[in-house]
Amino acid sequence: MGLAKICRKMDIPVPPPGYWRRKETGWNPARPPLPALCPGIPDAVGLTPRPAPAERSLEVTAQEAFEREPKNRVRVARQLSSPHPLVDHAAPVLRDARVGLYGALCARRERCLDIHISPRSLERVLRILDALFKALEARGFRVGLSQGDRPDTHITIFGYPVRVTLEEKIGRIDHVPRKGDGSYHARWDYVPSGRLTFRIDEWRSGSARKSWSDGKRGLLESQLHDIIRGLVVVADAKRTHLLAEEREAQARREAQRQRELAEQRRREEEERQRRLEREAESWVKAQQLRAFIDEVERRASVKGVAMEPGSELGDWIAWARRHADRLDPLKPDPDAVKPQDASAGPTHEAPDGPPADDGIVAPPGRES
């Protein structure tokens, strides 16, 4: 967007025509004050410079130098001779093709060249494409058709296909009534102009030139070397664009991988924290149980209750301490089966609890 357009968009006054000329002659015209900001218009705007055009590769530079040499110019034969295979296949198909509603030959369903021309221009177009295709393949490039029922013509340069088409400008005039038109007839008649245009159908090409036409500077036949240079430039731009896209996609994939790793580390850290808290809670609970068991032993000792192994209270204390050890994350699991104990058989069932009738443990609601 030009500076004047930006000023109009931002409601900034611009000098009227002749302002700077008057300044040069010594006249000092008044400058209008800045108007108040309208709602929705920011108080500042930045100008982003256009990115510098991408540097052309050495391959492009070398190809351009090659095409500038007069001896390397492409010449179109007066008659077809040993035509290129694609031209050889297209010639009979196009010669037998019907003329469509808009005055151009219709033959794309026959896996033919992607061209839109009138029958009058056919022989000329075949000779042009024959010379162009042969010159392209002599330079190491490939010419072919894409897959599908309606194939495109493409030139493969640097490993990247570039779609091309050749068309004729067909004018439109009011329909001239003819005998036999009937009650319904077309509103327009289409008149071929004979003016040809070679077009590169590739949007990933930056500002590279993509069309060449018959004109005042010469016919299309005299511009084939320029067309080849243009194809090389467009293919190089497409390669640069796709490689940049791949780098961006790779960067996005790497960023996604890093996000997933960070999320995995976060989940693992949260699980470690939860495990730590669970183990701390288990340790506290184990300490509380041991304190309780110690108190049971103290009271039993005071009352003279038997606590020897095999006694009811002794078995309960042993079981309770094993259970406390089982909860304690700092203690080895007492239930882990050692190899030498694997055949020892089942352990005794845990006692229901310390005997309460001896007053060692107070009944609920009453302290001993």
What confidence tens digit (pLDDT) does each residue in 128-154 have? Answer: 999 999 999 999 999 999 887 778 899
Token reading at 9: 């968009």
- Is position 345 within any domain? no
310 with 341: CB under 8 angstroms? no
- Is position 195 within any domain? yes
Q: What's the pLDDT score for residue 16?
A: 82
Task: Render pLDDT for 72-128 as a digit per residue (tens, 0 to 9).
Answer: 999 999 999 899 999 999 899 888 888 876 777 877 666 788 888 888 989 999 999
Q: What's the pLDDT score for residue 252?
A: 92
- Is position 7 within any domain? no
Token reading at 281: 């809670």
Q: What's the pLDDT score for residue 138?
A: 95
d(CA 72, CA 234): 20
Mean of pLDDT over the chain: 83
- Is position 322 within any domain? no
Instruction: State phi, psi for 293 to the nearest 5 degrees.
Output: -65, -40
- Is position 253 within any domain? no
Instruction: State phi, psi for 200 to the nearest 5 degrees.
Output: -95, 120
pTM as predicted: 0.62
285 with 327: CB under 8 angstroms? yes
257 with 181: CB under 8 angstroms? no
- In percent, how much of the chain has pLDDT > 70? 82
Q: How many residues does the chain have?
A: 368
Q: List alpha helices for the chain, DSSP H.
A: 3-9, 19-24, 58-68, 85-95, 122-138, 224-303, 312-327
Domain holding 67, by residue range, is 56-176+184-244
d(CA 238, CA 160): 7
- Is position 218 within any domain? yes
Q: What's the pLDDT score for residue 47?
A: 67
Q: What's the pLDDT score for residue 363?
A: 42
Residues 143-152: contacts with CB within 8 Å, 24+ apart?
143/84, 143/86, 144/86, 145/86, 145/111, 145/113, 149/109, 150/108, 150/109, 151/108, 151/111, 151/112, 151/114, 152/114, 152/201
Q: What's the pLDDT score for residue 233?
A: 93
DSSP state of 311: S
d(CA 52, CA 207): 11
* Closest residue by Cα to residue 300 from 246, 354, 256: 354
- Is position 220 within any domain? yes
Lowest mean pLDDT among 21-25, 215-219, 337-341: 337-341
* Strand, coil or helix: 213: strand
Q: What's the pLDDT score for residue 98?
A: 81
Token reading at 23: 């300044």
d(CA 224, CA 131): 9
d(CA 255, CA 60): 34
Q: What's the pLDDT score for residue 237?
A: 92
CB proximity list for 149: less than 8 A, separation 6 or greater: 109
The upper half-sphere exposure of residue 20, i.e. CA atoms within 13 Å in the direction of its Cβ, equals 1
d(CA 220, CA 131): 12
Instruction: State phi, psi for 347 to the nearest 5 degrees.
Output: -80, 165
Task: Render pLDDT for 252-268 as a digit per residue (tens, 0 to 9).
Answer: 999 999 999 999 999 99
- In percent, how much of the chain has pLDDT > 90? 46
305 with 314: CB under 8 angstroms? no
- Is position 151 within any domain? yes
32 band by pLDDT with thresholds 50, 70 and 90? confident
* Strand, coil or helix: 185: coil
Could you give the C-alpha distances from 33 to 12, 19, 24, 43, 349, in angstroms and in order?
9, 16, 22, 15, 98
Name the CA dihedral angle for 229, 235, 239, 240, rounded to a multiple of 10 degrees: 50
Q: H or E segment at 160?
A: strand 160-174
Total number of domains in the chain: 1
